[in-house]
Amino acid sequence: MYPSAMKTAVIGASGYTGGELLRLIGMHPHLEATYISAHSNAGELISSIHPQLTGYGIQEFSSLDIEKAQECDLVFLAMPHGESAKIVPQLAPSQKVIDLGADFRLSSSDSWVKYYGGSHAGTWTYGLPELPNNRAAIASSVKVANPGCYATAISLGIYPALNSIDSADIVVVASSGTTGAGRGAKVSLLGSEVMNSLSSYKFGGIHQHTPEIEEVLSRTANKQVGISFTPVLAPMPRGILATVTARLAQNISRQEVRDLYEVAYSTERFLQLLPEGHMPRTGSVLGSNNVHVQVALDEHSHRIVVSVAIDNLGKGAAGQAIQNANLMCGFDEKTGLGMEGIGA
């Protein structure tokens, strides 16, 4: 059992995900952010980058100091892909680490090389607790790979139906807010470019979450899964709305389709199948770790249609990381994550 406050490190804390981690840790009764680093912003006030985090007072971002990170009970890594793999070998093998980047998500080294480039660092326990058998694996692990935001929404949206669909014919169109692209200055993400406009990107099946989704769903279904995924940049800061469709492999009724989801979600604390007629909205999950889902049967095309909303910085990143930390540390899974969405 840990003391009332575990010493916690957040490395890469100046990004959007890092800021959300700091917000959630600040509300967590058993975690204390004792080491907060952001190499390029070292020496700057935390509140100058994250003005909402006034509770951190005059505390500054530290430069990267492995010895200070080694003193912590729990380490969150919130850095671009390829960076976590440089730090992890310097941490103790027994140290609890959650990587919010992509470095340890994939099992296939070929997929890593194709979609990310460079050497594949290895594979950690995949931190999506709601998938079958994952919760126990996370609780017994000291190294966990936090899933990608799109991968979270899409996987949770379709997994209850995997045994009833043609798993090689899953089609996804998903829109994400601009924080999903990180904090780097890019012309395409300027307010003047994004406002009043929608645009697809990484068009034609080249998005890096594609192999991640296929791997996790293939493990879950125990058969090969293939997806066609088109991401869309939406004119909003945060949130994901995913529409997932798949051809049914058997004749089942509309109610039987809904029953699949009611059974799968019946004991889950963050997944909600909405009442019929209610559609998921990104605003309804904003600031929370919740997942809102609606499911329908398109009888004309004989396809299942699923709509999923998450906060890409919540359940899609920092909220899920806290949920995984709770499991790894023996805390109640919802500790520090009890808030509902903000709404309109």
Other CB atoms within 10 Å distance of the CB of residue 139: 17
- State residue 285's pLDDT score: 97
Q: Which residue has the higher pLDDT, 25 or 2?
A: 25
DSSP classification of residue 313: T
- State residue 207's pLDDT score: 86
Among 315, 265, 321, 338, which residue's Cα sits nearest to residue 126?
Answer: 321
Q: Cα–Cα–Cα angle for 316, 184, 176, nearest 5°?
A: 35
Q: Which two tokens stand for residue 4?
A: 């009332």
Do 154 and 172 touch, CB atoms closer than 8 A? yes
In the chain, ranges of CATH 3.30.360.10 domains: 151-312
- State residue 151's pLDDT score: 97
pTM: 0.94
What top-level class would CATH report for the domain 6-146+315-329?
alpha beta
The pLDDT of residue 213 is above 60: yes
For the stretch 190-206, pLDDT in tens is 676 777 788 888 888 88
Among 215, 207, 206, which residue's Cα sits nearest to residue 128?
Answer: 215
Query: Which one is catalytic: 13, 100, 149, 327?
Result: 149
Q: Which two tokens stand for residue 193?
A: 């470019």
For the stretch 45-104, pLDDT in tens is 999 999 999 999 999 999 999 999 999 999 999 999 999 999 999 999 999 999 999 999
The pLDDT of residue 2 is above 60: no
Q: Terminus-to-terminus CA distance in the chain, angstroms?
A: 40
Place of tokens 């997944």: 271
329 belongs to the catalytic site: no
Residues 102 and 317: their CA atoms lie apart, in Å, by 11
Query: Which CATH number is 151-312 given?
Result: 3.30.360.10
Do 23 and 322 touch, CB atoms closer than 8 A? no
- State residue 32's pLDDT score: 97
- State residue 20's pLDDT score: 97
* The residue count for the chain: 344
For the stretch 216-265, pLDDT in tens is 999 999 999 999 999 999 998 899 999 999 999 989 999 999 999 999 99
For the stretch 137-193, pLDDT in tens is 999 999 999 999 999 999 999 999 999 999 999 999 999 998 876 666 566 666 767
Predicted confidence band of residue 344 (pLDDT cuts 50, 70, 90): low
Do 87 and 10 touch, CB atoms closer than 8 A? no
- State residue 39's pLDDT score: 84
- State residue 1's pLDDT score: 42
Q: Which two tokens stand for residue 313?
A: 């910085």
Q: Judging by beta carbons within 10 Å of its beta carbon (0-12, 13-18, 19+), is residue 137 exposed, middle or buried?
A: middle
Residue type, 49: I
Residues 6+ apart with CB under 8 A from 120: 106, 109, 112, 113
Residues 6+ apart with CB under 8 A from 245: 170, 171, 172, 298, 303, 304, 305, 306
Predicted confidence band of residue 40 (pLDDT cuts 50, 70, 90): confident
In the chain, ranges of CATH 3.40.50.720 domains: 6-146+315-329
Do 19 and 50 touch, CB atoms closer than 8 A? yes
